[in-house]
């Protein structure tokens, strides 16, 4: 008898996290880092940057035709962000679960223990980013940490 059990990969996965300008200016980086470590992720790289307009435009290219795009670019360039590469088994989905839904206002009702409920405000100012698939994780990690560069660690 052969039983086929659907199983998720036991391989480590990496995901890209951004603590957005409202998360950094609201002093949420320490709480977010504690949640990350308590949830079993390791922080493989981190970088604090004040994103330039062209960087945000390229990173969020898939949203470039949306009405909210100019306002998203303004928000993401409004102050420094903390960018991290996290690693663990099932990192991408588990991080998305921890941050909660895109709309922080809804998150406060439906996912009150999520990170976006804790530090986000609304559909735009939602405090954190997380890659949504293996494909985007690979693209987003190499976007900030190009292949061949040493993963950077800096002080918060």
Query: Between 112 and 151, how does the x/- string for binding to ligand IDP read (CB under 6 A)?
Result: -----------xx-x--x--x-------------------
b/e for 72-109, b at 16 or more Cβ within 10 A? Answer: bbebbbeeebbbbbbebebbbebbbebbbbebbebbbe
The conformation of residue 26, written as its DSSP 8-state character, comes to T
How many residues contact ligand IDP, by CB under 6 A?
A: 8
- Cβ-based neighbours of 153, under 8 Å, separated by 6 or more: 45, 46
Active site residue 129: yes
- Is residue 72 involved in binding ligand IDP (CB under 6 A)? yes
Closest CA to 134 of 85, 82, 93, 83: 93
Q: Which one among 97, 102, 133, 149 touches ligand IDP, defined by CB under 6 A?
A: 102
The residue (of 50 and 152) whose beta carbon lies closer to ligand IDP is 50
Distance CA 25, CA 79 (A): 8
The residue (of 45 and 127) whose beta carbon lies closer to ligand IDP is 127
The residue (of 45 and 92) whose beta carbon lies closer to ligand IDP is 92
State how far Cα 1 lies from the chain centre: 43
Least CB distance from residue 149 to ligand IDP, whole Å?
25
| Catalytic choice (50, 54, 113, 129) | 129
Provide the binding-site residues for ligand IDP, judged by CB under 6 A.
68, 72, 102, 123-124, 126, 129, 132
């Amino acid at each position: 008898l052969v039983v086929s059990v659907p199983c998720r990969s036991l391989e480590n996965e990496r995901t890209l996290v951004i603590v957005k300008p409202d998360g950094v200016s609201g002093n949420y980086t320490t709480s977010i880092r504690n949640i990350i470590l308590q949830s079993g992720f390791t922080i493989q790289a981190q970088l604090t940057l004040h994103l330039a307009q062209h960087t945000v435009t390229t990173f969020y290219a898939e949203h470039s035709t949306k009405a909210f795009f100019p306002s998203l670019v303004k928000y993401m360039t409004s102050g420094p962000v903390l960018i991290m590469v996290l690693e663990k088994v099932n990192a991408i989905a588990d991080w998305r679960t921890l941050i909660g839904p895109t709309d922080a206002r809804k998150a406060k009702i439906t996912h009150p223990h999520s990170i976006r409920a804790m530090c986000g405000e609304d559909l735009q100012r939602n405090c954190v980013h997380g890659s949504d698939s293996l494909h985007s994780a690979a693209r987003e990690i190499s976007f900030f940490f190009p292949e061949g560069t040493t993963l950077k660690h800096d002080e918060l």
